[in-house]
Structures are given as structure tokens and as C-alpha cells.
Structure 1
Amino acid sequence: MNDIIKSIEAENSERRNSFPSFKAGDTVNVHVKITEGNKERIQQFQGTVIQRRHPNSNGETFTVRKVSNGIGIERIFPLLSPSVEKVEVIRKGKVRRARLYYLRGRQGKAARIKEKL
């Protein structure tokens, strides 16, 4: 039983290393595989990372928030999911928290995050 778990963790560690390092406050572009019928395409979801949950575990997830037509949209992505093709870091954010839930109540300029130089 332990051998099976160790082999799966070894596979996942290789996949985890293929992603760039990012944290809450960073703006990322997530490439997601979408299946419609028998067709498969890649869709991009660009937004700000609000949180990362269970870092360095196999069940790690991250939440990305964007505002589209004045409506806030949040998606939770499992990091090691086969549907997540790749993650690109657009810009690094300068924040002092690990969870940025306060962005949900802000709009426009108040929702901006300073860029790390």
C-alpha cells in the first residue's frame, strides 16, 4: 500500500515542479482544458490568486478571482489536475496576507494590488 502511495507522490512531485512558484496576490494566467462533446480545447482564465490551500500536498488547490463585466468570478483549481495545462505568472503582487478575501468587497482602484519590483 505504501509503495503505491509513494509512486503516486513521486509522479505528482515531478508535475508540481513544472509549475512556476506563485502565491496570493500574484496575477496568473491558467490554461484549462475544456471538453465539449468530443472536442477538446484550451481556455485561459486570468486573474488574481486569492489563496493557496494545502501547499505541498497532493490535494493542493488555488483560487483565482477576476472581474468580468462588473461581476466577480472566482474559480478553484486543483494544482495537480490533468485539466490544468499550465500556469503563467503575469505579475508578482506585494501583499502581507496569505488569504485575500477582502478583495471581494472592493471595486476598481480599491481592489488594486501593488506590484513587487
Structure 2
Amino acid sequence: MRNKYIENFEKAQTSEKNIPDFRAGDTVRLAVTIKEGEKSRIQAYEGVCIAKRGQGTGATITVRKIGANGVGIERIFPLFSDSIEEIKVIRRGRVRRAKLFYLRDLAGKKARIKELRRK
């Protein structure tokens, strides 16, 4: 049971953001604002969403991408953060789990996720 004042506040915060419907296994591209000194720029971060957790304004997603030399890079993003400008779903993955932490142990072609076919 949650406090009704907190629920109303969270509803006001979450209604401003336009977040597409996606789940673990989907490849997403996030436009992240990066501040360097007094300047700021938008940089894309593209990878596989391996986990979604939390609810309301505390919801987060974990996105994993493969960086230089085949090193895996994971970042946890708060969904309703001001640093996230936009979220785009690039492709939908066909997975049978809600958390894809097993991808950390896989490399190369074994770490690929099949694309979900819509009928």
C-alpha cells in the first residue's frame, strides 16, 4: 500500500516522459545528455536491455553493449532521469526470461538474441 500523495507526485513526474514499451531482450538506443564542464552534448548509447526493475520514478533499466576489444559494458539508467532525452527501440528480442544476466558469460555468436517475429 503506497501513500496517495507519493502516487500523485510520481504520476505527475512520469506523465512528462514518453517511454516506449520495451522489455528485456530488446535492443534500445538511449540519447543521454553528457555534461563536460559548462558544455553539454547528447550521446547515443545502444545496447541490449538485460533487466528492468522498480516502479514509478524509481524504475531503472540495465543496458549492456559490447565496447572496444569485445569488452562488455553495462550501465544502469533511471528511466525517468533528466539525463535521458529519448529512448528508441531498435529491435525486439525473443527471450524467455525477465533478467538476462547469463549474457555476461557468453561471447561472440552465442551472445546473440533472436529477433521477435510479429505475425
Flag whether TM exceeds 0.5 (same fold).
Answer: yes
1:31 counterpart SS class: strand
Cα 1:4–1:40 shift into 2, 3 Å? farther
Identity %: 51
How far apart, CA to CA, are the structure 2 residues paired with 1:108 and 1:11?
43
Q: How does 1:2-21 map to 2 (within 5 A)?
A: 5-16=6-17, 18-21=18-21
How far apart, CA to CA, are the structure 2 residues paired with 1:105 and 1:3?
43
**Preserved CA contact (<8 Å) 2:14 2:80:** no
TM-score after normalising by structure 1: 0.91
TM-score after normalising by structure 2: 0.89
Residue 53 of structure 1: aligned partner: 53
How much has 1:15 moved relative to structure 2? 2.9
**Preserved CA contact (<8 Å) 1:93 1:113:** yes
The root-mean-square deviation of aligned C-alpha atoms, in Å, is: 1.5
Mark the runs of 5 or more structure 1 residues left unpaired by the alignment: none
Q: How does 1:1-117 map to 2 (within 5 A)?
A: 5-16=6-17, 18-54=18-54, 56-69=55-68, 70-117=70-117
**Preserved CA contact (<8 Å) 1:25 1:92:** yes
> Given residue 58 of structure 1, which amino acid in structure 2 is its aligned partner?
T
**Preserved CA contact (<8 Å) 1:15 1:80:** no
Q: Number of aligned pairs?
A: 114
